[in-house]
């Protein structure tokens, strides 16, 4: 069973499970703990009903510490498994997993927002974003796709089918700062068939002065004004 105590000493596995280093996890934890405690009003159950027994009575919950609660929701966000499978990792049933996901996800979002760790959603605000200007504005742009359920409608099947992934997908464009390794912009979700460059063109991202932008072949021809773009090329050895 996954717990914070048995995973925190395994840096590689911790990063793979949460997308965070232990130090970053511990930076979020105090804010997460405070916001979680604010939900627990004295004399009421988690559902807001008057308590019939003392706090701490009854069946002991599996996610007993704030560390385990934060780990639970971070792993869910990172891997997005079926709730039954996620519950198996933490010793929970599917209904229990569903309860904790819906309880903890808003707290995680509020915690990240308070810490200024959530990416910009407004493309015109990117140039002034603290995440972009936290260090030099050297950025990378990329498209990311995730599988989705195959639509029943024939037209939507075509629109959501990604030839690259050979599956029906949802797509987003991400901007990341190469120095801080933080995502600084997340585009609206698009259909899998839509080309990366077209999404970037339509979003009209505002870049800060002097920005550099690394891109792959999906953004061939994407050259925002005032931005130095570059596209890494495979070496001849890699091609052979």
CA distance 26 to 93: 27
* 84-90 long-range Cβ contacts below 8 angstroms, 24+ apart: 89/1, 89/2, 90/1, 90/2, 90/62, 90/63
Average pLDDT value for the chain: 88
Note the pLDDT tens digit of each residue in 156-215.
Answer: 999 999 988 888 999 999 999 999 888 999 999 999 999 999 999 999 999 999 999 999
* C-alpha dihedral sign at 150, 16, 200, 133: positive
Report, as an integer, the average pLDDT of 99-108.
94
Region 21-46 average pLDDT: 83
**147 - beta bridge partners?**
169
Q: Which residues are registered as beta bridge partners of 4?
A: none
pLDDT in tens, 65-94: 999 999 999 999 988 889 999 999 999 999
The pLDDT of residue 163: 85
> Per-residue confidence at 46, pLDDT binned at 50, 70, 90?
low
Q: What pairs with residue 143 in β-bridges?
A: 173
Q: If you write DSSP's letter for every residue of 14-83 in order, what string do you get?
A: HHHHHSS-HHHHHHHHHHHHHHHHHH--TTB-TTSPBPSS-TT-SSPPS--SHHHHHHHHHHHHHH---H
What average pLDDT score do residues 101-118 get?
Answer: 92
Helix (H, G, I), strand (E, B) or coil at 128: helix
For the entire predicted model, the pTM comes to 0.74
Task: Retrieve residue 57's tokens.
Answer: 């009575």
Contact in structure between 185 and 119 (CB atoms under 8 Å): yes
pLDDT at 17 over 70: yes
CA 68 to each of CA 8, 72, 76, 77, 84: distance values in angstroms, whole numbers, following the listed order: 11, 6, 12, 14, 18
Place of tokens 């792959």: 216
pLDDT score, position 57: 54
Instruction: State yes or no: pLDDT of 61 exceeds 80.
Output: no
Alpha-carbon torsion 19, 22, 26, 27, what sign? negative
């Amino acid at each position: 069973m996954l717990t914070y105590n048995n995973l925190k000493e395994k840096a590689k596995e911790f990063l793979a499970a949460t997308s965070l280093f232990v130090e970053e996890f511990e930076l979020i934890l105090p804010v997460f703990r405070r916001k979680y405690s604010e939900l627990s009003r004295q004399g009421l159950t988690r559902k807001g009903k008057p308590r019939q027994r003392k706090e701490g009575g009854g069946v002991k919950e599996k996610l007993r510490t704030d560390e385990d609660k934060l780990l639970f929701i971070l792993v869910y966000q990172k891997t997005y498994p079926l709730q039954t499978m996620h519950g198996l990792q933490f010793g929970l049933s599917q209904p229990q997993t569903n309860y904790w996901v819906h309880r903890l996800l808003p707290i995680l979002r509020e915690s990240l927002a308070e810490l200024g760790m959530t990416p910009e959603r407004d493309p015109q605000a990117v140039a002034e974003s603290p995440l972009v200007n936290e260090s030099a504005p050297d950025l990378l742009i990329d498209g990311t796709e995730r599988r989705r359920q195959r639509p029943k409608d024939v037209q939507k099947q075509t629109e959501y089918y990604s030839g690259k992934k050979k599956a029906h997908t949802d797509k987003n464009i991400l901007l990341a700062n190469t120095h801080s390794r933080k995502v600084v912009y997340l585009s609206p979700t698009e259909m899998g068939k839509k080309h990366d460059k077209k999404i970037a063109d339509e979003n009209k991202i505002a870049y800060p002065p002097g920005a550099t932008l690394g891109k792959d072949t999906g953004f061939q021809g994407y050259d925002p004004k005032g931005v130095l773009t570059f596209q890494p090329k495979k070496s001849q050895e890699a091609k052979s």
